[in-house]
Chains A and B, each alone.
Chain A
């Protein structure tokens, strides 16, 4: 039985660029913006970094393939740089690479940096792109909202929830994230919205309207990790350590076998269960102080609350309406605005979620600081409800 990752790796520093429509920035400029903040925070010289992971998702409209763009942008000292891609969960994958490298003892200090430059396509939303030569022969011309919209259909079917009730709960998810994002200077969308505005927004993919969708943004985020021992040697007294990192990848069962009813994300259930075991969490709703989940669409966040065990099956829509996940609720969710308002530069998002956890746990979250949080969860989902990769990480204050 493996001993797991708990408390083996410390976060030495983190950085995050401003997210948004960064018309004046190359991807490399965003990388440097996030990295310089991170390096200052870590308090080390660049040449202490022994290995690096770069996450980008849609490299064709971004920096292109390989680890080279990161190595060149930061002038890294000819160290191993690996580019990772795992749909929208890519950011957490870069972090996992760095964390595992340190935990294995292969290196002392490792860098994870995620970056996405999405605003060079000439249109809104994610770029229309190939899904692989054979898939293109028979898959629908799907869009991300089109695929996640189906969670709502599946959820209605499984729980008999009225269409209008569900739409209202979805709207509430977005209203909450806009309220949070308005207090985050680095967020892409910083305007509060009313439930009525959300409900009346133009339809994107039935029943997902414009305000049910997250922002499509440019941005970068990064982390430097090391062991708790080295963190101490470097003079860190209060720091954040990794408690769990789990990833579950669909094997085609949801897409091909009648066992799945379309109302939940199976991988999130599997990854979160393993993550709670790895972190030693028995009652997540009571023990977790906050979450940053993959709210690519309002319905995704709503369903994720159930998949993470933070709401009972078929009850999340009521909990949402009851404010359980609001900034002053029982388990605040997307305190930084989430993908919804902080924005979603795909390859950076997993690291951006960790960045907010990191700030909150160290009491550096400014206007949106929660009251003494000790343990937080990030959930980074890629793909589509019926076929996806789901990453669940838990971080907390190091108390070793």
Chain B
């Protein structure tokens, strides 16, 4: 039995990358200073992505090759959870088919939720929680148009599994502080953050709160600051990680890149995203110090083990960043984030109420993408049905649950429909034939319009199917995405 730590990691970054030049180009007339942040690109959710869908995808990456029966807890950290009262971690657990004998928890209310949640999930493992814990941090950031935040922020999710066996990064030390330092806040009924002056945030916040917390964390495990190999401090203020490192006695070359040019700051997810990025190429023995800042500070010290070499390949942060589609159209970003009142025509007026009893009855199919497999003839089918669809079988009530989310498929037929309502027209949908059987008429998303055609290989992703803005609900289902 070793001490608790991370046993695997995974990540998800939306495919769309808004070019910062597009934001500056649209807003410079009002605020010329935005040009200072005009380089590079930021990740942006497609209209059908949110903190829950990204969390599910990051978790699937983290669970690649793992036995899902071992997962005993799902903790989800975010300040942009789609539901205020409906447990968001519970949606993830259902989508991941983790069963109902599981502990689920949302961790929120601070950008520090990523590191605080991780520390607490690890504490649960240390306290004897069985099996593996799954910890996910996800953020779909929202900001007023034409603000520096719009340029600096990004959307992403990162996930780790936790346990005492097969640890790739052992938690060596940890310290947290709580200080009601309000650099920004978002009230219960506010849409956007309200920020205070950056120089004050830097001088009174980061530079006064982080160094002592870091020192205490390092002291808790007897690690000298100079022995830290990677220092992970998400911060949108320029040079602050370097300044904190110098104060704390950490070598400047240990300061990790915050992925500002390729992704942007992903809020509560960012520290965990940086941690996953570090684990991708960390060597055994390396010491990683990850810090979360927000009304106080968390500092966690990890020591990478030999087991990191045995981790099966995964998409990870590097893979997720590489899967990108540059977006030059600022208006699409505004539209997808509900920042403009776009006209979608009268077809958009259809009532999108979700009958909750229908959702509950069909939750395995809708949220978990579970079909049926006839135990008599072996035919896979979606949805699961009483009578087998195989014309040569037709047996009654012979189908066992058959999870299909990880089954690849091929595009059999498709169209790009400009008539029907879609937030991102034209709507791509068509028939997907799954490997090993089963087929479905289903939505496509993140379509590469140049290469998409019959025969394209696809995988399934958990996405928003419809938003019921009148009632504050969103329907989730699975969509087919072109394989990388």
**Residues of A in contact with B (beta carbons under 8 Å apart):** 121-123, 125, 128-130, 133-134, 136-143, 145-147, 149-151, 153-154, 156-157, 202-206, 208, 252-253, 255-259, 261-262, 384-386
Q: CB within 8 A of A153: which of B346, B433, B454?
A: B454
Among B79-87, B114-122, B298-306, B381-389, which stretch is in contact with chain A?
B381-389
Residues of chain A contacted by B366 (CB below 8 angstroms): 137-138
Chain B stretch 438-484: residues in CB contact (< 8 A) with chain A: 438-443, 454-455, 465-466, 475, 477
A123 touches B416 (CB 8 A): no
CA distance in complex: A106, B418 (Å): 49
B379 touches A153 (CB 8 A): no
A141 touches B420 (CB 8 A): yes
Residues of chain A contacted by B179 (CB below 8 angstroms): none
Please give the distance in Å from B368's CB to the nearest CB on chain A. 12
Residues of chain A contacted by B238 (CB below 8 angstroms): none
Q: CB within 8 A of A137: which of B362, B418, B419, B455?
A: B362
If A153-B415, A154-B413 touch, whether A128 touches B379 (CB-CB below 8 Å) is no
CA distance in complex: A151, B441 (Å): 13
A128 touches B415 (CB 8 A): no
Is B145 among interface residues, defined by CB-CB distance under 8 A?
A: no
Given A125-B419, A256-B385: 17 more A-B contacts, CB < 8 Å? A123-B345, A128-B348, A128-B350, A134-B358, A137-B359, A138-B442, A138-B477, A141-B429, A143-B419, A153-B414, A153-B430, A203-B418, A204-B417, A253-B391, A255-B440, A257-B389, A261-B412
Chain B stretch 346-394: residues in CB contact (< 8 A) with chain A: 346-352, 354-355, 358-359, 362, 365-366, 379, 381-382, 385, 389-391
Please give the distance in Å from A307's CB to the nearest CB on chain B. 16
If A122-B346, A257-B379 touch, whether A142 touches B389 (CB-CB below 8 Å) is no
Residues of chain A contacted by B415 (CB below 8 angstroms): 145-147, 149-150, 153, 205-206, 208
B355 touches A205 (CB 8 A): no
Please give the distance in Å from A253's CB to the nearest CB on chain B. 6
If A146-B429, A154-B412 touch, whether A256 touches B418 (CB-CB below 8 Å) is no
Residues of chain A contacted by B412 (CB below 8 angstroms): 153-154, 157, 261-262
B439 touches A137 (CB 8 A): no
B431 touches A150 (CB 8 A): yes
22 pairs, CB–CB < 8 Å, chain A vs chain B: A121-B346, A128-B346, A128-B348, A130-B351, A133-B358, A136-B466, A137-B362, A138-B365, A141-B421, A143-B420, A146-B415, A150-B415, A150-B431, A203-B416, A205-B415, A206-B426, A256-B438, A257-B389, A258-B437, A258-B439, A259-B391, A262-B413
B389 touches A128 (CB 8 A): no
CA distance in complex: A147, B442 (Å): 11
Q: CB within 8 A of B419: which of A146, A151, A153?
A: A146
Residue from the set B358, B381, B412, B415 with the largest chain A CB neighbour count within 10 Å = B415
B417 touches A205 (CB 8 A): yes
CA distance in complex: A126, B358 (Å): 27
Residues of chain A contacted by B466 (CB below 8 angstroms): 136, 141
Name the residue of chain B whose CB is nearest to the CB of A157: B454
Residues of chain A contacted by B414 (CB below 8 angstroms): 150, 153
Residues of chain A contacted by B27 (CB below 8 angstroms): none
CA distance in complex: A252, B348 (Å): 29
Name the residue of chain B whose CB is nearest to the CB of A208: B415
CA distance in complex: A157, B437 (Å): 19
A150 touches B430 (CB 8 A): yes
Name the residue of chain A whose CB is nearest to the CB of B417: A146
B355 touches A133 (CB 8 A): yes
Is B427 among interface residues, defined by CB-CB distance under 8 A?
A: yes
CA distance in complex: A150, B429 (Å): 9
If A149-B417, A252-B389, A256-B382 touch, whether A140 touches B429 (CB-CB below 8 Å) is yes
Residues of chain B contacted by A153 (CB below 8 angstroms): 412-415, 430, 454
Chain B stretch 14-30: residues in CB contact (< 8 A) with chain A: none
CA distance in complex: A149, B420 (Å): 13
Q: CB within 8 A of A257: which of B391, B419, B475?
A: B391
CA distance in complex: A145, B429 (Å): 12
Residue from the set B359, B366, B381, B430 with the largest chain A CB neighbour count within 10 Å = B430
Is B261 among interface residues, defined by CB-CB distance under 8 A?
A: no
Is B398 among interface residues, defined by CB-CB distance under 8 A?
A: no
Please give the distance in Å from A190's CB to the nearest CB on chain B. 24
Q: CB within 8 A of A142: which of B358, B420, B426?
A: B420
Residues of chain A contacted by B454 (CB below 8 angstroms): 153-154, 156-157
If A128-B347, A257-B381 touch, whether A137 touches B417 (CB-CB below 8 Å) is no
Is B177 among interface residues, defined by CB-CB distance under 8 A?
A: no
Name the residue of chain B whose CB is nearest to the CB of A140: B429
Is B422 among interface residues, defined by CB-CB distance under 8 A?
A: yes
A145 touches B417 (CB 8 A): yes
A205 touches B455 (CB 8 A): no
Residue from the set A134, A137, A151 with the largest chain B CB neighbour count within 10 Å = A137
Name the residue of chain A whose CB is nearest to the CB of B351: A130
Q: CB within 8 A of A386: which of B355, B422, B441, B475?
A: B441
Q: CB within 8 A of A146: which of B427, B437, B455?
A: B427
CA distance in complex: A274, B110 (Å): 68
Name the residue of chain B whose CB is nearest to the CB of A156: B454
Please give the distance in Å from A121's CB to the nearest CB on chain B. 7
CA distance in complex: A146, B420 (Å): 8
Chain B stretch 234-288: residues in CB contact (< 8 A) with chain A: none
CA distance in complex: A65, B440 (Å): 32
Please give the distance in Å from A99's CB to the nearest CB on chain B. 30
CA distance in complex: A156, B351 (Å): 36
If A137-B465, A138-B465 touch, whether A255 touches B421 (CB-CB below 8 Å) is no
CA distance in complex: A208, B415 (Å): 9
Residue from the set A154, A206, A253, A259 with the largest chain B CB neighbour count within 10 Å = A206
Please give the distance in Å from A246's CB to the nearest CB on chain B. 20
If A150-B431, A257-B390 touch, whether A140 touches B413 (CB-CB below 8 Å) is no
If A128-B350, A142-B420 touch, whether A386 touches B431 (CB-CB below 8 Å) is yes
Residues of chain A contacted by B465 (CB below 8 angstroms): 137-138
Name the residue of chain B whose CB is nearest to the CB of A255: B441
Contact code string B312-352 (vs A, CB < 8 Å = 1, else 0): 00000000000000000000000000000000011111111
B350 touches A130 (CB 8 A): yes
A258 touches B433 (CB 8 A): yes
Q: CB within 8 A of A141: which of B382, B389, B413, B422?
A: B422
Residues of chain A contacted by B347 (CB below 8 angstroms): 123, 128
Contact code string B44-71 (vs A, CB < 8 Å = 1, else 0): 0000000000000000000000000000
B350 touches A129 (CB 8 A): yes
CA distance in complex: A11, B440 (Å): 43
CA distance in complex: A231, B381 (Å): 52
B389 touches A205 (CB 8 A): no
Residues of chain A contacted by B439 (CB below 8 angstroms): 255-258
CA distance in complex: A154, B439 (Å): 14
CA distance in complex: A95, B359 (Å): 39
CA distance in complex: A134, B477 (Å): 12
Residues of chain A contacted by B443 (CB below 8 angstroms): 140-141
Residues of chain A contacted by B442 (CB below 8 angstroms): 138, 140
Please give the distance in Å from B20's CB to the nearest CB on chain A. 32
Residues of chain B contacted by A121 (CB below 8 angstroms): 346
Chain B stretch 192-238: residues in CB contact (< 8 A) with chain A: none
Please give the distance in Å from B283's CB to the nearest CB on chain A. 45
Residue from the set A125, A150, A156 with the largest chain B CB neighbour count within 10 Å = A150
Please give the distance in Å from A209's CB to the nearest CB on chain B. 10
A204 touches B421 (CB 8 A): no
Residues of chain A contacted by B389 (CB below 8 angstroms): 252-253, 256-257
Top 4 nearest A-B pairs (CB, nearest first) are: A146-B417, A140-B429, A150-B413, A149-B415
A205 touches B426 (CB 8 A): yes
